[in-house]
């Protein structure tokens, strides 16, 4: 499992847990891979709309931007959580891009460890390998890459 993205002040001072590592100073995402392309579309949305809108506005804008760029995007995708052949809950991912990347959007002052845990749970429930966690709250977009 790895978490990549720009350094984040709000996560730096929290204790590091072995199952939620914060990895900083990672290389920039490859603009040719799916993660890099979705991140580029997210920057376009953030630069165009700016901060201050509700999460749903960014979700709709990012879906539209990704669709314009030729991606297949599903919103509010529900995944069942099964325990010993019994349905015990559901998780609803904000966006699923090309059936391989989960995208979780936030409009919050700080990205917290529970947001990372939420993404990990999406990955476990969906069987996907990578999630992009994005915070649109501030003028500077912040993000984390979470991989199983």
State the CATH number of the domain containing residue 81. Answer: 3.40.1350
Domain span holding position 80: 2-7+31-147
Within a domain: residue 18?
no
Q: Is residue 29 very low, low, confident or very high in pLDDT (cuts 50, 70, 90)?
A: low
Q: Using the predicted structure, report yes or no on whether residue 117 has a pLDDT greater than 60.
A: yes
Distance, in Å, from the CA atom of 145 to the CA atom of 143, rounded to the nearest integer, reads: 7
Whose CA is closest to 94, among 33, 45, 31?
45
**Burial tier of 131 (Cβ tally within 10 Å: 0-12, 13-18, 19+):** buried
The structural domain count of the chain equals 1
Please provide the DSSP assignment of 39-84 as one string: HHHHHHHHHHH-S-S-HHHHHHHHHHHHHHTT--EEEEEEEEEEET
Residue 91 has a pLDDT of: 87
Residue 27 has a pLDDT of: 52
pLDDT digits (tens, 9 = 90+) for 129-141: 999 999 999 999 9
Within a domain: residue 58?
yes
């Amino acid at each position: 499992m790895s978490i990549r993205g720009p350094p984040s002040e709000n996560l730096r001072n929290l204790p590091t847990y072995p199952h939620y590592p914060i990895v900083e100073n990672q290389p920039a995402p490859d603009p040719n891979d799916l993660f890099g392309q979705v991140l580029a579309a997210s920057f376009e949305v953030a630069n165009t709309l700016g901060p201050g809108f509700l999460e749903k506005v960014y979700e709709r804008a990012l879906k539209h931007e990704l669709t314009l760029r030729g991606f297949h995007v599903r919103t509010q995708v529900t995944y069942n959580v099964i325990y010993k052949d019994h349905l015990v809950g559901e998780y609803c991912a904000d966006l699923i891009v090309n059936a391989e990347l989960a995208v979780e959007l936030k409009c919050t002052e700080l990205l917290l460890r529970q947001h990372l845990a939420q993404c990990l749970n999406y990955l476990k429930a969906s069987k996907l390998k990578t999630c992009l966690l994005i915070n649109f709250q501030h003028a500077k977009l912040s993000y984390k890459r979470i991989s199983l």
